[in-house]
């Protein structure tokens, strides 16, 4: 069964460094998302991406964050200058169409630790 | 603004016992409601969803949930727990009825343990 994959599974970085989290969505999907979960807190929506542009973003997704689909298979989340509070599990998701009629398929997540 | 509250961050049941995971939502518009499950080292997987119509929704692995508008609830149940049900369960809501969003709003999750 097709699945969303994410790399790396765990990333440790120092405060102020740039990180890129990578995702490979399911191949025929058109909508892409990033969510994150800070330990002990809710899973939070960051951004959705469709037709090569951001379609929706949350207040968390400030100028330090960016997303890109550099080729036909990858979808990346970049954090330009990481802060301690960026430490979280980051989930990528993709869907064939919009909810609720199309399921969002989630990857296993990348745990980002900022020291 | 929409929100979801899951009562009980940890629930433990015996194998064969009823599973009840609670979810209450807040929404100013008719919602769409979802339950997701996450097994260790895997992504969130959709268990079931409520959009419109029948308020009792059946999902995978024998789970079901009932949308109760009067109680703003969408509790997840399974009549008989199996060891393989041990996982974390997330309730989520999004704006229904033509709302132009694909954003899911999640609760904090409930970790279900199943004792032999």
How many cross-chain Cβ pairs, A to B, lie less than 8 Å apart?
61
DSSP type of residue B84: G
Cβ–Cβ gap B104/A100 under 8 Å: no
Q: Does residue A2 belong to the interface with chain B, where contact is any CB pair within 8 Å?
A: no
B92 contacts in chain A (CB < 8 Å): 43
Low-confidence ranges of chain A (pLDDT < 50): none
Contacts 24+ apart (CB under 8 A), A81-84: A81/A16, A81/A17, A81/A18, A82/A13, A82/A14, A82/A15, A82/A16, A82/A17, A82/A18, A82/A19, A82/A112, A82/A114, A83/A15, A83/A114, A84/A15, A84/A114, A84/A115
Q: How far does A73 lie from chain B, in Å, by closest CA? A: 18
3-state helix, strand, coil in chain A (%, to 5): 5, 50, 50
pLDDT of residue B99: 57
Mutating which of A24, A60, A104, A107 best tests the B interface, going by the most B Cβ atoms within 10 A?
A104
Name which of A43, A48, A57 to mutate to probe chain B: the one with the most chain B Cβ atoms within 10 A of its Cβ. A43
Backbone angles phi, psi at A75, to 5 degrees: -140, 120
pLDDT given at position B96:
60
A70 contacts chain B (CB < 8 A): no
What pLDDT does B43 receive?
84
pLDDT at B31: 86
A99 and B108 within 8 Å at the Cβ level: the answer is: no
Weakly modelled stretches of chain B, pLDDT under 50: none
Q: Å from A11 to nearest chain B CA?
A: 15
């Amino acid at each position: 069964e097709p699945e969303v994959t994410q790399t790396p599974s765990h990333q440790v970085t120092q405060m102020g460094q740039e990180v890129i989290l990578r995702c490979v969505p399911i191949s025929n999907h058109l909508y892409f998302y990033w969510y994150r979960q800070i330990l002990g807190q809710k899973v939070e929506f960051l951004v959705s991406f469709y037709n090569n542009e951001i379609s929706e973003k949350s207040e968390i997704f400030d100028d330090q964050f960016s997303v890109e689909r550099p080729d036909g298979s990858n979808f990346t989340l970049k954090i330009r200058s990481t802060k301690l509070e960026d430490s979280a599990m980051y989930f990528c998701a993709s869907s064939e169409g919009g909810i609720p009629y199309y399921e969002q398929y989630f990857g296993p997540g990348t745990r980002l630790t900022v020291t | 603004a929409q929100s979801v509250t899951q009562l009980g961050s940890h629930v433990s049941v015996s194998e064969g016992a009823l599973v009840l995971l609670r979810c209450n939502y807040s929404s100013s518009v008719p919602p769409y409601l979802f339950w997701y499950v996450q097994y260790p080292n895997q992504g969130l997987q959709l268990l079931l969803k409520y959009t419109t119509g029948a308020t009792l929704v059946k999902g995978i692995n024998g789970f079901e949930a009932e949308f109760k508008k009067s109680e703003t609830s969408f509790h997840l149940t399974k009549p008989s727990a199996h060891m393989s049900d041990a996982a974390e369960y997330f309730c989520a809501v999004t704006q229904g009825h033509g709302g132009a969003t694909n954003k899911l709003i999640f609760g904090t999750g409930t970790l279900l343990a199943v004792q032999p």
